[in-house]
Structure 1
Amino acid sequence: MADLKKPPLYEEHLAAGAKMVEFGGWMMPLQYTGIIEEHRRVRSSAGLFDVSHMGEIVVKGYDAFKLVQKLITNDAGRARGDRVIYSPMCYPDGGVVDDLLVYPRDGGEYLLVVNAANKDKDLAWIRENAVGLAAEVEDVSAATAQLAIQGPKALEILQPLTEGELASLGYYRWTRGRVLGVDCLISRTGYTGEDGFELYFAAEAAPHVWRRLLAAGKEKGLAAAGLGARDTLRLEAALPLYGHELGPDISPLEAGLERFVCLDKGDFNGRAALAAQQEEGVKRRLVGLIMVDRGVPRQGYPITAGGREIGRITSGSYAPSLEKNIALALVAAGTISTGAEVEVSIRGRLNRAVVVNLPFYRRSKK
């Protein structure tokens, strides 16, 4: 436990009575008042997440674009101006190293935002791929804090605290501005299925921004939310989590992320394997399940249909917005379709579930 990293807001979380847990090599807040309460607050008003454990890596130099284009399955050319892109990053065999956000910066630089548990592995992989290229790779994670304000009232809460207009900032767009007097990269992105913003800024300013944001938004329902609610929120929105829906043995095509795989952009890591998989047809696909019988499906639980095993749960939980138990699962392609009934083996007992379209939850848009 002594080797675990602590975010800049560690003492703030303790003071707020957060339940702290190990996550990706960090001590992070799982919950404050309760996962279900925090989840519903994000859906109805707004929640503030400390996600400073995420990794931030800057790629710069003459060949920065060439390196990023080699690394990711999406087209790095789409990350230009104020546009952010999401992309898997693959090994040559099509398995996933990580999934990340790509921000274009001035001077042809790129900011890559990666998962906390994968940061060191990602950094080594990126540097390995940079050999022979005129590109510099810099880890700026320790100097960077990241907060996410998510929910239908996020804009209403954040705008009065920000120098610059946010309403016109589109989804997956970013800008620079000052929030509570602190220089920030402000991005209209998130991991909850709700509207919201992610703020990147100097780590030493984190306590100031955290306290004042919570105080300013309190009357509108803003409160701190932990990683527990973040997970149930992303699951309802059917957003993939590395180590569950993505991994070295799961390709982006199997995970249903084909729209983020640009086979026509030229060569990149995993292109040949993914092209072959697309041509032959994926052997597995990601589906959504809603439990009919009682029981919470968990990662690794077997799924059967017609008396034979067809796949396994990748993520499962109680869904507060639906008031039902739900799951994402990888199943053999062609074995089931939407509306079909399957069984999930929970502690040796077969519990009925029905296959549904994804996502489980979709926010209403004005």
Structure 2
Amino acid sequence: MTENYTSLYGEHQKAGASFTDFGGWQMPLKYSSELAEHHAVRKAAGLFDLSHMGEVWVTGADAAAFLDYALAGKLSAVAVGKAKYSLICNVDGGIVDDLISYRLGDEKFLVVPNAGNAATVAKLLVERAAGFDVVVEDVTMETSLVAVQGPNAAAILLTLVPEDQQALVTEMKYYAAAYVSINGQDLLLARTGYTGEDGFEIYVPNADAVALWQVLMENGADQGLVPAGLASRDSLRLEAGMPLYGNELSVSGHAYSAGMGPVVSLAKESDFVGKAALAAIKESGDGVTSGRKLVGLKGLGRRAARGHYSVMKDGAVIGEVTSGQPSPTLGYPVALAYVDVAHAEVGTQLDVDLRGKAEPFEVVALPFYKRQK
């Protein structure tokens, strides 16, 4: 696999980051303490480099109709300036990726797939565009993405936005986006994130990414802003009950067992790739009345479950952990796991096999953590 470096790699080196491969990119895992970075995002703010994510423009007269066909959600119903979380599926209903699409004009969308799936998603969109009046343009390698996440995120951004545009920031709703002048440049700003906190994501050309990163760090210093890596991003998203592709989501899984039935728009008039298969899966009850479904588990002891550990009921294996670790915010272990639907009800007492020892867990409602608004 080709090793890619974001435009901010040098900034991460200067900040003392430890790196890890993620989706073929060398990404900062942590800078000093992943625990300190996690708490900074919950209490103040963290700055993330997300430039490994994909960016694919879909433009043209048929853009909305095309995305209705290519994705499992009804993108034509999204208002300009809003975003929608959706899935791209194969013909069998398997999840190829989960992604966010921003509608920035009647005929203009930005589709943002995950890092490891960006090339696959771009290729599929090009293939599925046959017969539609659209242009699909993959600009992943030209685009950087930084995220300011935490309760102080808006205050930090306001130091870089002209006075006549500050209301665009303060009044922007969750899952909305607009072009805003940030540090003197018109950049796409979205009120989205993957941490369970308030926050923003900023799309910036590679050539301007370093200057943006540096001014955010400088202006955010008195607001407690710290650079944050993938380790804290993972613990933050887990507390918020957000699935990660490759852990909770995969091409061998489907929306209903993952608890994403509402994301799939079977009612929309147009056909979409995987619609027939997903309709049959829904009819069968798989992941709802049979099979396994994704649940949250709260540890009743001190030891944390990890991915691929077996979940048990009365000594019998009834599931598998997909993600798990101690929750820095809550002070007890949390995990996501697929378990047999018969044992998926909130309050059910289960065990996780922690290397030969049964550790008690309880099924709880998601998310584990929800910020106070």
Q: Give the shorter-chain TM-score range.
A: over 0.9
CA distance in 2, matches of 1:335, 1:362: 24
Retained in 2: the 8 A contact 1:183–1:201? no
Equivalent pairs counted in the alignment come to: 364
How far has the Cα of 1:354 moved from its partner?
A: 1.0
In structure 2, the partner of 1:284 is 292
In structure 1, the partner of 2:230 is 227
The list of structure 1 runs, each at least 4 consecutive aligned residues, that deviate by more than 4 angstroms after superposition, is none
SS in 2 for 1:156: helix
Give the TM-score taking structure 1 as reference length: 0.97
In structure 1, the partner of 2:174 is 171
How far has the Cα of 1:292 moved from its partner?
A: 1.8
CA distance in 1, matches of 2:225, 2:334: 27
Deviations 1:271-294 (A, max 9, x none): 122222222212221111111233
Give the TM-score taking structure 2 as reference length: 0.95
In structure 2, the partner of 1:95 is 94
Alignment identity in percent?
A: 42
Retained in 1: the 8 A contact 2:49–2:146? yes
CA distance in 2, matches of 1:177, 1:151: 20
- The 5 Å alignment of 1:175-194 reads 175-194=178-197
CA distance in 2, matches of 1:250, 1:66: 26
How far has the Cα of 1:120 moved from its partner?
A: 1.1
Q: RMSD in angstroms over aligned alpha carbons?
A: 1.3
Retained in 2: the 8 A contact 1:182–1:205? no
1:236 corresponds, among 229, 236, 239, to 239
Retained in 1: the 8 A contact 2:55–2:140? yes
CA distance in 2, matches of 1:162, 1:243: 37
| Amino acid of the structure 1 residue aligned with 2:293 | R
Retained in 1: the 8 A contact 2:293–2:344? no
Matched, 1:11 2:10: yes
In structure 2, the partner of 1:326 is 334
Unaligned stretches of 5+ in structure 1?
none
How far has the Cα of 1:76 moved from its partner?
A: 0.5
SS in 1 for 2:342: coil
CA distance in 1, matches of 2:77, 2:48: 28
Unaligned stretches of 5+ in structure 2?
none
- 119-128 or 213-222, larger mean C-alpha shift: 119-128
Deviations 1:44-96 (A, max 9, x none): 01101010110001112232222211121111023221111110111111110
- 230-239 or 258-267, larger mean C-alpha shift: 258-267
CA distance in 1, matches of 2:280, 2:106: 36
CA distance in 1, matches of 2:323, 2:193: 19
CA distance in 1, matches of 2:104, 2:345: 43
SS in 1 for 2:293: strand
CA distance in 2, matches of 1:355, 1:231: 21
SS in 2 for 1:334: helix
Retained in 2: the 8 A contact 1:78–1:85? no
In structure 2, the partner of 1:79 is 78
CA distance in 2, matches of 1:125, 1:256: 24
In structure 1, the partner of 2:259 is 256
In structure 1, the partner of 2:273 is 269
How far has the Cα of 1:334 moved from its partner?
A: 2.1
